Every structure is written in C-alpha cells, then in structure tokens.
C-alpha cells in the first residue's frame, strides 16, 4: 500500500491510480506531471522504492513505476544505468545471480513478487523474457517453441501451440515447412522472432524484452518493431533499449534511467530519473538530465 | 487533495482473474521434487568428503598403531627394509624414493618443459595437431607397460650401457660443455662486443678449466677408489642385472613427461599475447621473447608443473616395483645403479607375493605407516603446486 | 653502452646492415628451436621404441597360438599351452563395469551439484578442496583404503573382485567430477537463461539444456577415466589381486557370483608374468603379448575419447 499524501509533488510513479472505494476507481490528474487515466484493474506492475543489489553494491536505487496492461513501456538510459537489471527483477531472473537481492516492493497484479512463498518458476511462466542476443536452443524449431509448454507439463495439443505461437511471432510462413530443422541455421532476425514465439508459447501475460534488436540489422529490427505493435493487443510489453528512436517509435510510456558515479569508490549506481508517457518524455521532459540525454548532450 | 492509494491485493482483482500469492507459489509437488533432486546431487558431491575422511582415518589409525607399536630404537638405522623380519628402516625407502624422483625429474623436467614451449610458442596448428596426440597417447600408457619397458629395454639397453661406460660418458659430456664454453668466450674475446675486458675473459677460462679438471679427477677417484671393497669387480657404476633404480626412474620420468608438459603448456598459454607482441615490436627475436618475456611471465606455472611432476613421480608404484631391481625387501642404497625399493614399491611388494598380509600385525600396519608418509608428502606438494597455479591465474 | 663503442656514421650503417641481414642466419634461434623440437622428438621416439619392444616380444605368442592365449589361464610354466589371459580379461571387464555403474553416476551428479546448485559457502569449499586433493593422491593410497575397508573390515581379510572394482571406482571418481564439471562450465549461459526465461525449473534446465550440451565432454572424461581404471595396477595389488596362479572358474564369465571371489585383471597378469620371467624367461614374451592386448584396449578408448572431443570442439567452432 502506497500513500501519496501530497499530490502537489511530482508523482514519482509517472501515473497514478486512486481508489475511493473498491468499486469506484478514478484516476487523479497530477498538476505537474500529466498522466493517463486508467482503471486499477489495468495495473500490472507496481514498483515502490525498488533497489537491486549485487552483494554490497547497489546497482539501481529507488525505482518507482506503475505499469499499465497492454501497453509498451520502454526503459532507456546510458549503459550501466541498471535498466536491464530492473527489467530482470520483474520476472526474478536476477535470482539466478547468487549475490543479487532486491529491496523495496514489486507488486504484480497486487501480489508481491518477492514474497517468500512465490516460486520464481511460476512467475517466469506468466512473465516471459526475450534476450539481447538471440538464444535459440540447439534443437529443432518445433522443439524450441514447444519447450515452455513441455516443461510446464503439457503433452497434448503442442502442434496447435507451436503453430499459434509462430503465427503470432510472424514466423509461421517462413518456417512451416521446416519445423524439424535445427533452429541454429536461421538468420538472426528469425532467431529473435523464434525467441519471441518461444516466450509466447508459455502463454504469458507480460513479455520482457532486453534490447531485443541490438544484435540485428535494420530490416530485422523493423520487423520486430512491427511485431511488437501487433503483440501489444494481447500482451503487456516492457522493453529495454539503448536506441532512443526505437523507444520513441514503439512505446507508449518511457522511463529514463541515469547513472550516478560515487567519486570515492568509482561505483556506478543507476536511478530512475523520469517516467512518463513517451511523447512527453521526448518532447518536453521535466528533468534536465532527461533533456540532456535525449538531445545527445550526454551518454 | 484526497489520498491516492494504490489498490492492494483485494482491490486489484476487478474484471480479471484474481491473482493471489498462492497462484504464484507453484505446486507443492514440484517444489518437493526439485529439492529432492538437489538433495541427491548434494549427497553425490559429499561422497568425496566421505572418501577423504576414510582415507585419512584408515591411514592414521593403522599408522598410529604401527608408530606406537614398533621398537624404533631397534629398527631405525638398520641396513634395509625387511618388513617380514620386523626391520623397518624408513630411510632405506625414503632415499630410494628421492633417487627415483630426482632422476625421473631429470628426464621429465627438460623433456616436458621443452615440449610445452615448442607446442605453445613454435608449433604451427598442423604440427601441433600431429604432435599433441603423441603426448596424449603417452599419458594414457598404463604404468605396468612402462614397468615392462624399463625392465626389458631401459635397464639393459640404456642404463647398463651408460653404467659400463659411465665415467667415460659423463667425462665426455663435461668436456664437450667445457670446449663449447671456451669457444664461445674466445669468440667474444675476438669480437670484443660484450664490453668486458680481456682480463675477465681469460680469468673465466682459467677458472672453468680448473673446475673441469677437478671434476674429471673426482670422477676418476670415485670410479677407482670409492668402490674399493672389491675394486676389481665392483665399482660405483657396476650394474646389477636384475634391474636398478635408475632404469625404473627413467620409466617413471617417461610417465611424468605428459603431465609436466600439459601443466606447463597451460601456464604458457595463460601469458597474454600482448606481452609477446610488445617484445616482438621492440625487435626481439622469437627466442629472446620466449626466454626473456614468456618464460618469466609463466614461471609460477612452470614451477607448479615441476612440483606436480615430483608428486606424481613420488607416487608412481608399478614401474619401480617391476624394474627397481628389488623383491619384497631391500638393503639400504644411495646409488641409482643398484636395486632398491621406494615407498610405493615397498608397499606393493609387501602386499603381493603371499596372497596378502592382512592381520599380520605390525607388518600389515607398516603398509599404512609408509602410505601415511607418502600421503602427507604428496598432499603437501600438491597444495604448494596449487598455490603456484593460482598465482598465475591471479596475475593475468 | 652501444653508442660509446660506435665510431663513424659509415660504421653505424654497416652495423645496422649486419643486424638486419642477420635474420636469415639466426643460428642461436634455430638451434633453440631444434632443441625444443628434439624434446618432443624424444617422446615420439620413446613411444615408437616402446611399442616396437612389446610387439617384438609379444608378437610370436599372439600369432602362434592366439586362440589358446585368449582363452587360457594363469599357469606355472610359460610353455604350458593353456597359458593365457582370459582371467585377466574377465577381471578387467567386471572392474570396468563396476567403475561405470558406481563412479559415472556419482561423479557426474557431483559435478552437476558443484556447477549448478552449490551455494558459495564453507561446505562447497570443503567439497571442492577434497575433490582437488583426492585427484592428486597416489593410486597406491587408494589401494590401502580398499585393503582396509573391503578386505580387512568387510571380508575377513579375503580379497575379492568387488574390492578391486569399488577401489578403482573411488580412484577415478575425482577425475570424472573434474572433467564433467569442466564440460558443464562450457555450457553457454544464454541457454540456461533462455530456459529459465520461459519458466523451466532448475532440474528442467539441467535435464534439457545442460546435460545434452555437456554430454560429449562428459563422455570424453568418463572414457578417459575408464581407460585409466583398466590400466591401473597398484591399487589392485594392494587389495590382493592374484599375480601367481588362480584356479579357473566354472561357468559363464557373466556370472555375478564371481564378485565375491578372488580375482586378477589384465595389468596384474602382466605384473605376475614379468615377475615370473626371472625364473622362466618365456613369461617375458607372454607379458609382452598381454601388453599388446592391454595397450590396444586402452589406446582405443583414449583415441575414441580424444576424437569425440575434437569432433565436438570443431563442430561448435
């Protein structure tokens, strides 16, 4: 439960939701930061004062974000600002690093993702992930897509799932005749769409994409961006990108992260500077650091 | 303005399936299965600890019984290792082990290191793919095969020949080295490029000549006088036909070559390419780069290779047992050209022959005492070698 | 120092020319290179002479009565036509099976634990250190362990095939753990991440990604350790393998009952015959013949292992 008693402050979460009672929900208009209105039921993630540590080292601090359903939210910022780290904390991929830990709260549809009862495996089945470098398994195309459902124990109807997922990922027409061939021989763009199909096959609600186009050529990138626009109808998408134009093109909302360097230890800690709708962030940012970054004066 | 409150779990459920912590908890069965599997893997990993404990426990237990039960005053300093007669003179075994290890390392050290340098610094990819397998095959040759080879080839064909003409061979080697050095310095003298004065050069030559002369005289003296018990039939280099420590040691050395080579090659490979490039960029020749840049940079790893080689040679059993020229007992010897028992061969020969020695009191426990000494020695060497290996890793 | 010895500028030119053109005749350098190559050459030579020696010694035995040598047993005279290696082959076969059944699963599982599960704590460090140190323990010491546990404590001082088998399984266990762990470490983390990313459990990831990818490396390590076990003699001598005469068993060589019986193995047969050769020179040739068989087995296993490794290394580029 987060209470903002003084609405005159810049709302750190970029948008706000208010509830007078359970049934009747309206969205407050913040005077300083224009925010969209949306019903509370569309709230997917709610991060409050989220910090991620690696051992004693704080990689990112004080992230406050509300993320809306069936939108594309972009995370941008200079390298080392912790945007990927934040993304990975959304489906607990950071758990794989033994020293990583999270402070603050991160609610997914109202449930604390870091509650000790929560199984990260279950989280990742609902919140899928696409990685920076295409990472097809050294198996057939079919087995790649069917991987998620299979580990979830599904044995029947895999053919339909594979076809459906590949169609969703705009890959079906290219590969339908060679489903049993190895995925390793595909082009980079195809491999990345396969990764998306693989993520979709687990029937997630959210897709996290960690710089999905950074290893691709411009044509393949354009196809992925097109695909994201289509997928938005069904999935909530968070994308980390180093490419500001990409964020401007595809996202509804953008979070700008910056990095502060501790002079004495030379350690870099990332922080969320500004989070608002994409159009505003790129045309009329509130924060000077954001402006410097998007106009190319920094980073 | 009114409080803005974010809906909590109960309020968030409007219009969609409600999501609860339980829904994200995953099935109990899966969690149980996962931790069960982890438990099995953990038990498998713990087996190594159990084995370590069992080794130490069995060694210490029996060795302690031996150490407290044996009459040290009577047995220490006796002229040999005769466990079945109750004579347990450890120095007999220790000195033989030392001889075998030293001779083996004289073989394995230079050959292993030279092979490693060639493979790492000089060999083209193709030569490497041809020569590396030779070392790999050699590494896989069972030690009984080397035992056979040492007894039937190295002993009669190599050691005996050297033994028969031993002082001649060694004398010739010293003389050749002397001539080479003198010629080298004489050339320096003519070219006068080393910046040293003529006096220094001449002094060097004179000192060297004196040293060589002393060595040759000493050699002659050893050859004729030291074996004076029966000077006609027996001198320092006389070979016993039944195999001898030197033959076994050469066999052990051959077994150790691939190990020394592979550890040393790893060390050389970990030297960054930039160092070599920097040296070459300054106009250094390949040999200069190798000797003055690469080898010093990899020196910890090369030391580690030698120590691991020593530990391996110390623990090698079958070659000495078969070709060391002693049966289940041995007199004290400090000559590599006589038969003897190392610690390992002593254990093997005591355990073989009559079916086994279980239950024969001190004789049985002496096995464990020797084993314990060997274990402590090799463990120490391995730990020291590990330190050296880590030093290379940390550096680059 | 160099400058002070230089005279006129023409002198300098001359020296520089000398330096540059000396490249082709770098005597010291090529001598060094030749010496290094010679060290490898000596290893090649040793291998050739060794193989030549055993083949020359053993060939007559193998060719004149090969069938008998194959099926014969340990005898007291080298001229006995029933002299042969069958008992050694059977012993080595069952020892190899014991090693495969015990050491492979435990070793691979331990490697999986260390690479995939182990937290960074004291226990993990103790396991790691003990495995590393076990790998350097001389093989006779394993023999002492086997003698104590499986002969003295478990079997009233009687030696048995299972004692030899389990002792060698313990001996190769650290090798299997270390080579398997190396193979598992080579699995790209992108595969693990990809699998975790779609909701695979740890065991799913190990089963479907890690093990299939690491399989060739693990297989190479296990094959090498198996060939080591087949060639190892010292621990078997310590646990009381038979070097002299061993009464032939009745019944099939697959009979599991022999696990409790006294036994011999290929390397032990060789040791025994080498010892007998002092009394009866004909045994030297028999030992040579047995070595040819043992070497063929061991080198075949090693070659398959090395070829497997090279094949997969090339395939993955």
Q: What digits encode the pLDDT tens for the residues B156-207?
A: 777 776 766 666 677 777 777 777 777 776 666 665 554 556 666 677 777 7
Higher-scoring residue by pLDDT: A50, C8: A50
SS3 call for A3? strand
* Residue B358 touches partner A, C-beta closer than 8 Å: no
CB A57 within 8 A of CB A267: yes
pLDDT in tens, C36-89: 888 888 888 899 989 988 888 888 888 887 778 888 888 888 888 888 888 899
Q: How many residues does chain A have?
A: 299
Backbone conformation region of residue A113, classed left if phi is above 0, alpha if psi is from -120 to 50, else beta: alpha
C100: number of CA atoms within 13 Å, CB side? 12
Q: Is the pLDDT of residue B50 over 90?
A: yes
CA C3 to chain centre: 59
Cβ contacts (< 8 Å) between B3 and chain A: which residues?
3-5, 18
| Interatomic CA distance for residues B331 and B318, integer angstroms | 19
CB B341 within 8 A of CB B329: yes
Cβ contacts (< 8 Å) between C278 and chain B: which residues?
242
Higher-scoring residue by pLDDT: C13, C276: C276
Q: Which residue of A has its CA nearest to B13?
A: A41
What is the predicted pLDDT for the residue at C309? Answer: 80
* Cα R_g (chain A), whole angstroms: 20
pLDDT in tens, C205-227: 999 999 999 999 999 999 999 99
| C224 with B193: Cβ contact below 8 A | no
The set of residues, in sequence order, having a beta carbon less than 8 Å from that of C131 and lying 6+ positions away, is B48, C110, C114, C174, C177, C178
Report the number of distinct structural domains present in chain B: 1
| Angle made by CA atoms C263, C266, C272, in degrees to the nearest 5 | 80
CB B151 within 8 A of CB B345: no
Q: Look at strands A25-26 and A111-112 and give their pairing.
A: unpaired
Lowest-confidence range among B355-359, C81-85, C184-188?
B355-359
What is the predicted pLDDT for the residue at C237? Answer: 92
What is the predicted pLDDT for the residue at A30? Answer: 40
What is the predicted pLDDT for the residue at B355? Answer: 55
Provide the 10 A C-beta neighbour count for residue A122: 19
Range C86-316: architecture per CATH? Orthogonal Bundle (1.10)
DSSP strand E in B40-99: where?
80-82, 87-88
CB B146 within 8 A of CB B255: yes
| A22 with B14: Cβ contact below 8 A | yes
B372: number of CA atoms within 13 Å, CB side? 19
Pull the structure tokens for residue B70.
């044996």
How many interchain CB pairs under 8 A, B with C?
275
CB B43 within 8 A of CB C214: no
How many interchain CB pairs under 8 A, A with C?
68
CB C78 within 8 A of CB B168: no
Pull the structure tokens for residue B216.
């040759």
Helix axes C139-146, B343-351, angle to 10 degrees: 30
End-to-end Cα distance, chain A = 35
What is the predicted pLDDT for the residue at C21? Answer: 58
Tokens 């080479």 found at: B180
Residue A275 pairs in a beta bridge with A255
DSSP symbols for C152-201: IITSTT---HHHHHHHHHHHHHHHHHHHHHHHHHTS-HHHHHHHHHTT--
Q: Which residue of B has its CA nearest to C203?
A: B34
SS3 call for A65? strand
CB A34 within 8 A of CB A280: yes
Fold of A18-294: Rossmann fold (3.40.50)
pLDDT in tens, A19-37: 444 444 444 434 344 455 6
Domain-located, residue B139: yes
pLDDT in tens, A53-98: 988 888 998 899 999 889 999 999 988 888 999 999 999 998 888 8
For residue B100, the domain's CATH number is 1.10.3720.10
| Domain residue limits at B119 | 72-154+241-395
Nearest to B278 by CA among B265, B266, B292, B298: B292
CB A83 within 8 A of CB A240: yes
Q: Which residue of C has its CA nearest to A184?
A: C316
Q: Per-residue confidence at B231, pLDDT binned at 50, 70, 90? A: very low
Pull the structure tokens for residue C116.
């995939």
| A43 with B25: Cβ contact below 8 A | no
Q: H-helix or E-strand containing B8? A: none
Tokens 């800690």 found at: A269
Distance from CA of C260 to the nearest CA of B (A): 16
| Interatomic CA distance for residues B31 and C74, integer angstroms | 57
Question: What mean pLDDT is reported for chain A?
Answer: 84
DSSP symbols for B133-193: HHHHHHHHS-HHHHHHHIIIIIIIIIIHHHHHTHHHHHHHHHHHHHHHHHHHHHHHHHHT-
Pull the structure tokens for residue B356.
């086994």
What is the predicted pLDDT for the residue at A17? Answer: 56
φ and ψ at A178, to 5 degrees? -135, 45
Q: Rounded to the nearest 10 degrees, how much is the dihedral formed by the CA atoms of C101, C102, C108, C114?
A: 170
Q: Residue window 98-137, chain C: list those with CB within 8 Å of chain B.
A: 105-107, 109-110, 112-114, 116-118, 126-127, 130-134, 136-137
Q: Per-residue confidence at B211, pLDDT binned at 50, 70, 90? A: confident
Domain boundaries, chain C: 86-316
φ and ψ at B39, to 5 degrees? -60, -45
């Amino acid at each position: 439960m987060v209470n903002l008693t003084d609405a005159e402050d810049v709302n750190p979460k970029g948008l706000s939701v208010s509830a007078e009672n359970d049934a009747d929900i309206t969205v407050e208009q913040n005077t300083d930061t224009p925010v969209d209105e949306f019903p509370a039921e569309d709230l997917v993630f709610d991060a409050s004062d989220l910090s991620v540590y690696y051992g004693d080292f704080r990689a990112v601090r004080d992230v406050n974000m509300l993320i809306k359903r069936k939108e594309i939210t972009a995370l941008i910022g200079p390298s080392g600002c912790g945007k990927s780290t934040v993304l990975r904390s959304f489906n607990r991929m950071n758990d794989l690093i033994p020293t990583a830990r999270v402070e603050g709260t991160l609610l997914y549809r109202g449930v604390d993702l870091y509650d000790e009862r929560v199984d990260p495996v279950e989280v990742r089945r609902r919140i899928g992930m696409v990685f920076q470098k295409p990472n097809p398994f050294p198996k057939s195309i079919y087995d790649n897509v069917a991987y998620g459902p299979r580990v979830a124990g599904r044995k029947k109807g895999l053919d339909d799932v594979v076809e459906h997922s590949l169609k969703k990922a705009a890959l079906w027409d290219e590969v339908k005749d060679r489903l049993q061939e190895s995925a390793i021989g595909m082009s980079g763009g195809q491999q990345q769409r396969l990764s998306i199909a693989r993520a979709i096959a687990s029937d997630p609600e959210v897709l996290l994409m960690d710089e999905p186009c950074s290893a691709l050529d411009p044509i393949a990138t354009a196809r992925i961006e097109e695909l994201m626009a289509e997928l938005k109808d069904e999935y909530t998408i968070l994308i980390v990108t180093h490419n500001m134009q990409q964020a401007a093109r595809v996202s509804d909302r953008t979070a700008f992260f910056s990095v502060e360097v501790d002079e004495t230890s030379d350690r870099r800690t990332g922080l969320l500077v500004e989070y608002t709708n994409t159009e505003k962030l790129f045309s009329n940012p509130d924060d000077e650091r954001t402006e410097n970054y998007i106009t190319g004066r920094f980073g | 303005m009114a409080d803005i409150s974010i809906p909590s779990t109960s309020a968030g459920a409007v219009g969609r399936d409600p999501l609860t912590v339980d829904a994200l908890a995953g099935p109990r069965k899966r969690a149980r299965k996962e931790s069960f599997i982890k438990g099995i893997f953990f038990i498998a990993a713990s087996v190594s600890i159990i084995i370590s404990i069992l080794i130490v426990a069995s060694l210490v237990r029996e060795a302690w019984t031996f150490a407290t039960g044996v009459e040290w005053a009577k047995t220490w300093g006796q002229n040999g290792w005769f466990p079945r007669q109750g004579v347990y003179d450890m120095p007999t075994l220790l000195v033989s082990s030392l001889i075998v290890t030293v001779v083996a390392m004289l073989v394995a050290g230079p050959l292993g290191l030279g092979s490693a340098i060639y493979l790492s610094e000089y060999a083209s990819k193709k030569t490497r793919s041809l020569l590396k397998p030779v070392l790999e095959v050699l590494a896989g040759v069972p030690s009984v095969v080397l035992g056979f080879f040492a007894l039937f080839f190295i002993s009669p064909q190599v050691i005996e020949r050297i033994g028969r003409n031993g002082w001649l061979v060694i004398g010739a080697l010293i003389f050749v080295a002397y001539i080479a050095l003198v010629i080298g310095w004489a050339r320096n003298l003519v070219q006068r490029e080393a910046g040293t004065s003529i006096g220094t050069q001449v002094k060097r030559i004179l000192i060297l000549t004196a040293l060589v002369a002393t060595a040759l005289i000493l050699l002659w003296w050893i050859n004729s006088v030291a074996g004076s018990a029966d000077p006609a039939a027996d001198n320092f280099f006389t070979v016993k036909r039944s195999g001898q420590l030197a033959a076994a040691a050469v066999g052990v050395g051959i077994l150790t070559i691939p190990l020394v080579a592979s550890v040393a090659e790893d060390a050389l490979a970990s030297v960054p390419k930039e160092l070599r490039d920097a040296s070459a960029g300054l106009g250094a020749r390949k040999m200069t780069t190798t000797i003055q840049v690469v080898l010093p940079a990899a020196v910890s790893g090369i030391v580690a290779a030698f120590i691991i080689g020593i530990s391996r040679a110390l623990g090698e059993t079958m070659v000495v047992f078969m070709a060391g020229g002693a049966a289940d007992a041995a007199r004290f010897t400090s000559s590599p050209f006589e038969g003897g028992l190392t610690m390992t061969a002593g254990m093997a020969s005591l355990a073989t022959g009559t079916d086994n020695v279980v239950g024969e009191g001190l004789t049985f426990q002496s096995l464990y005492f020797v084993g314990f000494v060997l274990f402590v020695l090799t463990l120490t060497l391995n730990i020291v070698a590990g330190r050296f290996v880590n030093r290379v890793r940390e550096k680059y | 120092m160099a400058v002070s010895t230089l005279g006129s500028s023409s002198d300098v030119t001359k020296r520089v020319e000398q330096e540059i053109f000396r490249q082709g005749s770098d005597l010291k350098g090529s001598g060094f290179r030749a010496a290094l190559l010679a060290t490898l050459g000596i290893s090649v030579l040793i291998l050739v002479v060794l193989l030549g020696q055993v083949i020359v010694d053993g060939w007559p035995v193998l060719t004149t009565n090969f069938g008998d040598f194959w099926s014969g047993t340990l005898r007291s005279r080298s001229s006995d036509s029933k002299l042969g290696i069958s008992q050694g082959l059977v012993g080595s076969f069952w020892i190899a099976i014991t090693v495969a059944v015990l050491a492979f699963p435990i070793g691979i599982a331990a490697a999986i634990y260390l690479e995939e599960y182990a937290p960074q704590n004291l226990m993990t460090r103790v396991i790691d250190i003990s495995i590393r140190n076990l790998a350097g323990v001389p093989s006779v010491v394993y023999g002492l362990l086997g003698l104590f546990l499986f002969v003295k404590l478990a079997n009233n001082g009687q030696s048995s095939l299972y004692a030899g088998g389990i002792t060698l399984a313990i001996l190769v266990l650290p090798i299997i753990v270390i080579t398997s762990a190396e193979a598992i470490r080579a699995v790209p983390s992108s595969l693990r991440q990809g699998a975790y990313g779609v909701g695979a459990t740890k065991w799913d990831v190990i089963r479907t990604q890690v093990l299939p990818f690491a399989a060739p490396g693990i297989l190479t390590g296990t094959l090498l350790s198996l060939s080591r076990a087949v060639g190892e003699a010292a621990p078997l001598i310590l646990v009381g393998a038979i070097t002299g005469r061993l009464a032939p068993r009745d019944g099939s060589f697959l009979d599991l009952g022999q696990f409790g019986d006294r036994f011999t193995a290929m390397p032990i047969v060789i040791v025994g015959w080498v010892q007998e050769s002092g009394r009866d020179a004909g045994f030297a040739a028999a030992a040579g013949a047995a070595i040819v068989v043992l070497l063929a087995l061991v080198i075949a296993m090693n070659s398959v292992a090395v070829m497997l490794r090279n094949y997969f290394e090339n395939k993955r580029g």
